[in-house]
Amino acid sequence: MSKKMIETLAIHAGQEPDPSTGAIMTPIYQTSTYVQDGVGETRGYEYSRTGNPTRTALEGALAGLEGGKYGLAFASGMASTDMILRLLNPGDHILSGNDVYGGTFRLFDKVYRRYGLEFTYVDTSDLAQVKQNLRPETKLVWLETPTNPLLNITDLQAVADILASHPNKPLLAVDNTFATPYLQRPLELGADIVVHSTTKYLGGHSDAVGGGVVLNSDEHYERLAFMQNAVGAVPGPMDCFLVLRGIKTLHVRMDRHAENATAVTDYLSEHPKVGRVIYPFDDTHPHREVAKKQMRSGGGMVSFVMKGGVEAARKVAENAEVFALAESLGGVESLIEIPAAMTHMSVAESELAVDPGLVRLSVGIEHKDDLIADIEQALDKA
């Protein structure tokens, strides 16, 4: 399927009608084991930690969407990130973006540092900082673009070029959760590994937690597939089915998320109570040129700072009605949250701490007039 357009891949990649019945939708193979025709004679599956046909379909879909050779599905986005870190050895150095998902920072700082991995956090949108902080023992560069929650943009091609001239050729891993492969395909820009929280836009309906990894390297794929089975952080068949079903409308949803997010950005930018508004394709965004070079649209996430600080931000979040006050993002419904007090508690008082007056919106696909009216009434009360 690799030559097809992404709209077609979203619906078909990795999926064939079920060979036993012709069912057009991939069945939920809710089974832990598989009968063998003779001792050691399997029909391709032996135990569902090792492999499950619903998961295989999802893994093919993820690979197809990202234009990669291999896909692997995991139980969550964090389980996917954890697997990538397990490619490394004690003493290795990781250069990470300084505005990564709070849980990613927590995994790096509170779990993997204890195992002898060293981390440096830099603003990867500043290529000079990337160059200056690479060490001889750097084995991995980890970044998000757009970042969460500040929506900073890193030039993926430029970072890949820098790493290609480093003697160790560190791996470039990109968490593509915010952009999705519909907006941006990191492997085509020189990244080695793409990581997803499929909980977000790929699943798209806030009904499953999951993760995935896509890559081209045979060697790293072998190792990750080995660890997927050895460690066991696999998603169940029902969750794989839900993500597969969500992916089928990815392109349609993302277009509407971006249209609505643009309308919300324009509204917020004119509002007297609102300070800085952050949206990757907005004329005021410092990295809009890079964003427009590597992304199809600005996506569905918008962040803004309330001039009235943390109190005003909390009032907006608590008074919004169509925008539900909740963590997570990427579902069809609009969500609002205060990163400093919710999703990014794990980076509080660290070098990654975010402005307490920052509000993050995951703009859904409701009618944009209703979304703007809701923000208007919530801002009135702040």
Ligand X SMILES: *Cc1c(COP(=O)(O)O)cnc(C)c1O
Q: Which residues bind ligand X (CB under 6 A)?
A: 76-78, 101, 103-104, 144, 148, 175, 177-178, 197, 199-200, 209, 211
How far apart CA 4 and CA 284 sit, in angstroms, is 35
Catalytic site residue 355? no
Could you tell me how far CA 179 lies from the centroid of its own chain? 7
Nearest to 74 by CA among 219, 177, 181: 177
- For 210-273, list the strands marked E by DSSP: 211-215
Give the whole-angstrom CA distance, residue 261 versus residue 330: 12
Output the smallest distance, CB 178 to ligand X, in A: 6
Contacts of 156 (CB under 8 A, 6+ apart): 145, 172, 174, 184, 186, 189, 190, 191, 294
Asked about 175 being catalytic, the answer comes back as yes
Q: Which is nearer to ligand X, 148 or 319 (CB)?
A: 148
Q: Which residue out of 200, 253, 256, 368 is catalytically annotated?
A: 200
CA–CA gap between residue 354 and residue 136 (Å, rounded): 31
Residue 232 φ/ψ region, left for φ over 0, alpha for ψ in the -120 to 50 degree band, beta for the rest: left
Closest C-alpha among 22, 80, 68 to residue 210: 80
- Of the two residues 337 and 378, which places its CB atom closer to ligand X in the complex? 337
Which member of 82, 92, 155, 175 is catalytic?
175
- DSSP three-state, residue 230: helix
Nearest to 73 by CA among 92, 57, 85: 57
* Residue of minimal Cβ distance to ligand X: 77
Least Å distance, CB 65 to ligand X, is 17
Catalytic residue among 34, 49, 69, 248: 49
Nearest approach, Cβ of residue 302 and ligand X (Å): 15
Identity of residue 36? Q
Q: Is there a catalytic annotation at residue 101?
A: yes
Cβ-based nearer residue to ligand X, 171 or 274: 171
- Among 29, 45, 70, 101, the active-site one is 101
- Taking the complex as a whole, the smallest distance from the CB of residue 100 to ligand X amounts, in Å, to 7
Q: Which is nearer to ligand X, 143 or 378 (CB)?
A: 143
Residue 85 or 312: which CB sits closer to ligand X?
A: 85
CB of 218 to ligand X, least distance (A): 26
34 is catalytic: no
Active-site residue list:
49, 101, 175, 200
